[in-house]
Amino acid sequence: MPLLLLFAAILAARADAKPASTVWLCFPGRAPDPCASSLATTYVGANGSRTVKRPRAAANPPIDCFYVYPTVSDEDRGNADLSIGLEQLLVAQTQAAPFSQVCKVYAPVYRQITDRGLTTPSLHASGLVAYDSVLAAWRDYLAHWNHGRGVVLIGHSQGAYVLKHLVGRVIARTPAQRRLLVSAILLGGQLHTGRVSDTGSVRPCPSAAATGCVIAYSSFANPPPRNAMFGRSRIAGSPIVCVNPARPGSSAALPVTPLLPVAVMQFAGVSGAASVATPWVAYPGLYTARCERSGNASWLQITRTAPPGDPRPAVTPLFGAGWGLHVTDVNIALANLVGVVRAEAAAYRRR
């Protein structure tokens, strides 16, 4: 069953309830913290040139990030428990760790719908259970750890589905929380705008310096097919949001820099990964990104622009054309997203 249907029941803010103690996957100052791992990166050019950069986590960043990870649980139940497994550790390091350069990263463990829960009705997976779990963690964060700091919400896939409801049903309707919102980066989550807006008054970011807005897209190497899981709206007058991470508000095709953890690339058998000595590898000049729209489809078009013979790896759909580049939504432009958050943090402080 598509995630969109599983979360369709979340139509109103949940009543206050005494939350369970939050289990934090990433929490500033606590060890181990997968969001505080080494960020040393080898930048590999088209001609094989290599440059190593060693960015570090910011000692005193001006804002926080609240990260909700995508579907990773392989538990044999509908909704995951609150244990931290290898899957959670890897995805937090893969998607969230680079943001530690510009914010303090908080990431709760939540009772997400498991892989099996998405495809096995007899397990009775509940989108409300996943949402309430994140809502409780958000309230805990605000009550004990926020201290009036601006916040960037970051979510991918199921994490984006949960967060878009949190934004639309709670944050957008609560002035005190609305003022804290630096931005919401909600990738691969079928975010609608127009006649029906999933995030209420929180609208797509018109520029990299805009705050209190949302960045969202689903990435494809080719136009989404008619049966696409992402990028196509089934609500008339409400297209799927696409904001270019290379330059929010732009309609041009602009360079994006993929940023990938070497350990994950080695596990996936990507050629050339073993020869990189740093934990991260980046491929500048390999792709451009541009928001495209055709009919009921809106997507981030990823185009390989490398010269002939460029040995650097190409991203391809892992689960068929209907999924597009969903698995790499975050990492295909991760270096750019970190830069956008840096600009937003500066603008938020000025505001």
**What band does 9 get if pLDDT is binned at 50, 70 and 90?**
very low
Look at residue 20 in the predicted model and tell me its pLDDT.
53
**What band does 7 get if pLDDT is binned at 50, 70 and 90?**
very low
| pLDDT tens-digit map of 203-223 | 999 998 999 999 999 999 999
pLDDT over 70 (residue 18) = no
**Lowest mean pLDDT across 20-24, 115-119, 214-218:** 20-24
| pLDDT tens-digit map of 47-56 | 888 999 999 8
**What band does 19 get if pLDDT is binned at 50, 70 and 90?**
very low
- Identify each DSSP E strand in 99-218 by its residue range: 104-108, 150-156, 181-187, 213-215
Residue type, 302: I
Rounded mean pLDDT of 64-71?
98
Rounded mean pLDDT of 64-70?
98
Look at residue 273 in the predicted model and tell me its pLDDT.
60
| pLDDT tens-digit map of 122-142 | 999 999 999 999 999 999 999
Look at residue 310 in the predicted model and tell me its pLDDT.
86
- Can the peptide bond before residue 32 be classed as cis, meaning omega within 30 degrees of 0? yes
| pLDDT tens-digit map of 161-187 | 999 999 999 999 999 999 999 999 999
| Rg value, the chain, Cα | 19
Q: Report which of residues 268 and 238 the model is more confident about.
A: 238
Domain definitions of the chain by residue range? 3-10+19-350
Rounded mean pLDDT of 319-324?
85
Q: How far is CA 338 from the centre of its chain?
A: 11
Beta strand 150-156 with 181-187 is parallel
Look at residue 59 in the predicted model and tell me its pLDDT.
87
pLDDT over 50 (residue 297) = yes
In the numeric block, the tokens 């990870």 are attached to 69
CA-based torsion, 224, 228, 231, 237: positive or negative: positive
Closest CA to 212 of 184, 242, 246: 184
Token representation of residue 335: 């270096």
Rounded mean pLDDT of 260-273?
69
Q: Which residues are registered as beta bridge partners of 304?
A: 287
In the numeric block, the tokens 């943001």 are attached to 99
Look at residue 207 in the predicted model and tell me its pLDDT.
94
